Amino acid sequence: MAEQKWHQRYAEGIVIGVLTATVLSVVGYLEHIASPWFGPIFYGAIVAGIVFLCCLGFVIVRRTPRPTMIPSTKNIEFCVRTWLDNFRVMVKNDPYDGAYFRFRITLDSGKIMTITRYRSVYPDYVTIDADLGIRGEDGKKILELFNTEERQAIISDIHLELARAKMSYSGLIDPPENFQIFRRVPIYPTLTEFAFMAMIGDVEAAMNLVYVMFLKVKQKKDASSTLPSASDTPIPALPRA
């Protein structure tokens, strides 16, 4: 930006000063000649000044930026809840004796996660985790779609992809009944809403990655089962002479 000249820089102040001096001069002159207009103009100027100051204060308050919320161990629960509300994430409070707070959240995609700050384990971190354990009758039906070799291949691929995504996990064995992925977020003063919500997005992406690994193997298996076998392939007849 080009440097302003002195009359451009101070123009607003000069105009206000001239107008103020003019009004005071008029009021002083009316008082000097004992004009009947002195009282109304004097008190009207006082009221106008009060109204002007009130309006000026209101504008200043409106334009003053709100103080930045600095995360700490004392207010991290409030920060996390505020950030989730700002993104319109569905939140359910789920108290736990071993945690300062625990939230169950549901994203727009339907993915469910847990956000926890534990008391004894990593108290200076907030943990974002997703339970991907395959258990119960429904889980048993899913595992029955794959043989042992296919399940081992899927688990190996998931190990590789989660390592590439730099995502922490536990319980990734066959059968993966207690499989969880998680990310620990350190509580530090420069932690922002953008960074925290981005980490939730990373966990969601890792969940999608796990589902894709199972889906790829299933689709490959379904495709191979529909291919015609050698015995079903008709042998073309030789053309007659």
Question: In DSSP terms, which residues pair with 116 in a beta bridge?
Answer: 102, 127
pLDDT of residue 125: 97
CA distance 179 to 168: 11
Q: Is 157 inside any structural domain? A: yes
CA distance 31 to 23: 12
CA distance 239 to 237: 6
Q: Is the model's pLDDT at 237 over the cut of 50?
A: no
Determine contact, residues 179/132, Cβ cutoff 8 Å: yes
pLDDT of residue 138: 87
Residue 49 CA to its chain's centroid (Å): 46
Q: Is 146 inside any structural domain? A: yes
Task: Give the mean pLDDT of the chain.
Answer: 81
Residues in the chain: 241
pLDDT of residue 60: 66
pLDDT band for position 48 (cuts 50, 70, 90): low
β-strands 99-106, 112-118 pairing: antiparallel
CA distance 113 to 183: 11
> Domain residues for 194?
76-225
Determine contact, residues 127/184, Cβ cutoff 8 Å: yes
The domain that contains 151 carries what CATH number? 3.30.1460.10
Q: Is the model's pLDDT at 2 over the cut of 50?
A: no
Higher pLDDT, 18 or 127: 127
Query: Looking only at Cα atoms, what is the longest distance across the chain?
Result: 136
Q: Is 238 inside any structural domain? A: no
Same domain assignment for residues 131 and 171: yes
pLDDT of residue 104: 97
Same domain assignment for residues 178 and 97: yes
Same domain assignment for residues 108 and 201: yes
Average pLDDT over residues 51-66: 65
CA distance 74 to 66: 20
pLDDT band for position 131 (cuts 50, 70, 90): very high
pLDDT of residue 67: 62
Same domain assignment for residues 48 and 162: no
156 residue type, one letter: S
Determine contact, residues 99/117, Cβ cutoff 8 Å: yes
Average pLDDT over residues 129-144: 90
Same domain assignment for residues 89 and 130: yes
Q: How many domains does the chain have?
A: 2
pLDDT band for position 173 (cuts 50, 70, 90): very high
Same domain assignment for residues 93 and 173: yes
Same domain assignment for residues 200 and 108: yes
pLDDT of residue 88: 94
CA–CA distances in Å: residue 42 to residues 38, 103, 236: 6, 62, 114
Q: Is the model's pLDDT at 236 over the cut of 50?
A: no
Q: Is 163 inside any structural domain? A: yes
Average pLDDT over residues 35-51: 64
pLDDT of residue 241: 42
Average pLDDT over residues 89-118: 96
Q: Is the model's pLDDT at 32 over the cut of 80?
A: no
81 residue type, one letter: R
CA distance 176 to 140: 11
Q: Is 236 inside any structural domain? A: no
Question: In DSSP terms, which residues pair with 106 in a beta bridge?
Answer: 90, 112
Non-local (6+) Cβ contacts of 85 within 8 A are 91
Three-state secondary structure of 181-222: EEEEEECCCCCCHHHHHHHHHHHHHHHHHHHHHHHHHHHHHH
